[in-house]
Homo-oligomer: A and B are copies of this chain.
């Protein structure tokens, strides 16, 4: 177990320290659960009352909160960011560099920097280029001519189809499938003619891809994921989608073919996007949002109906079917009243 003094943490964060610089810190915890050898943080003002009852050895707070807290404190303008940085000190180490498990099958025509780590059972096909510090977890499969930038980490059992390109400092989680065929078929009259998918998936630096997420390769051009995009588990990104920098998407987001998502968007869980549409920068879609057309104005958008007890819901759902009639009925009532007024 790693330990640090509070002084070491303050230095690491560039934070001001109030209290016992020699306190030994063995981990992190929430205000509610942290022990005396753990550091906690106050970010959401809703939890300010926990400051008086926390058992945490020290708390990351904003300078202006120092009056509210008598314990040891690390003062930062953004305590949540400070907490995020501290987590890495207590994380498990990455696999050691340069190790190649004897059971891994690495094509002699693949080019691996000497520092690359390859786990047991991984398969790396000809033409792959893996830069310094890359980790290929156990049982990963890298098709021909894939390229991975420096320090990119593939967790166990990631699948990359041929020619997938991934930048630096990316993290890909288990079960992700990147570069499978886009879903393209031409109707023949008697069935479907498959359209071979000739493009690639190109992922820029600092992207994270969650477990069991799928990103399909382009039909002609490429599917493109911008820098610093964060993708949760079980997301589906279809062929030729373009995602702008810094956009984050929660689980079960589904983006149909050729759609463009702007930069710095937040796509809520299970939100769905029609094909061939364009979403501008700085758009937020709430969970289960159904996006069927272009969005050209930044802002927050929603769809769906709120949860109701099912008996109540059934009544509203029936009325939803009659909504056009109801509206016309109201318009007729208005006219009748207007006529009365005219005649009175």
Residues 126-175 of A at the B interface (beta carbon under 8 Å): 137-139, 141, 143-144, 155-157, 159, 161-162, 171, 173-175
CB distance from A36 to the nearest CB of B (A): 16
A292: Cβ under 8 A from any B Cβ: yes
Identical chains bound together, number: 3
List residues of chain B with CB within 8 A of the CB of A27: 198
Q: Is the CB of B157 within 8 A of A161?
A: no
Q: Closest CB-CB distance, A239 to chain B, in whole Å?
A: 10
Q: Which residue of B lies closest to A344 (CB)?
A: B340
Q: A210-B183, A214-B233 are in contact. Are A321 and B316 (CB under 8 A)?
A: yes
Distance in angstroms between the alpha carbons of A192 and B169 in the assembled complex: 13
Tell me if A327 and B326 are in contact (CB < 8 A).
yes
Q: Name which residue of chain B comes closest to A173, CB basis.
A: B180
Knowing A292-B306, A309-B299, A327-B326, say if A220 contacts B28 (CB, 8 Å).
Answer: yes
User: A29: shortest Cβ distance to chain B, in Å?
Assistant: 6
Q: Which of B103, B177, B320 contacts A320 (CB 8 A)?
A: B320
Bound complex: CA A222 to CA B305 (Å): 32
Asked if A307 contacts B316 (CB within 8 A), the reply is: no
Which listed residue (B84, B105, B248) contacts A195, Cβ 8 A?
B84
Q: Which of A86-127 contact B (CB under 8 A)?
A: 87-88, 90-92, 101, 103, 105, 119-121, 123
**A261 on the B face (CB < 8 A):** no
What are the residues of chain B within 8 A of A184 when measuring CB–CB? 84
Within the complex, which residue of B157, B162, B214, B310 is in contact with A211, where a contact is CB–CB below 8 Å?
B214
For the complex, what is the distance from the CA of A281 to the CA of B316, rounded to whole Å? 26
| Contact yes or no, A269 B272, CB < 8 A | yes
Residues of B within 8 A of A233 (CB): 177, 180, 183, 214, 216, 236
Q: How large is the interface on A (under 10, 10 to 19, 20 to 34, 35 or more residues)?
A: 35 or more
Q: Are B162's CB and A92's CB within 8 A? A: yes
B306 adjacent to A316 (CB under 8 Å): no
Residues A254 and B272 in contact in the complex (CB < 8 Å), given A84-B186, A174-B161, A198-B28 = no
Contact A327 B334 (CB under 8 A): no
Contact, CB under 8 Å: A308 / B300: no
* Further 19 A-B residue pairs, CB within 8 A, beyond A78-B186, A315-B324, A319-B327: A27-B198, A81-B193, A139-B139, A143-B156, A174-B180, A180-B210, A180-B233, A181-B210, A211-B214, A214-B234, A250-B256, A254-B270, A285-B307, A288-B288, A290-B307, A302-B314, A306-B317, A308-B321, A319-B324
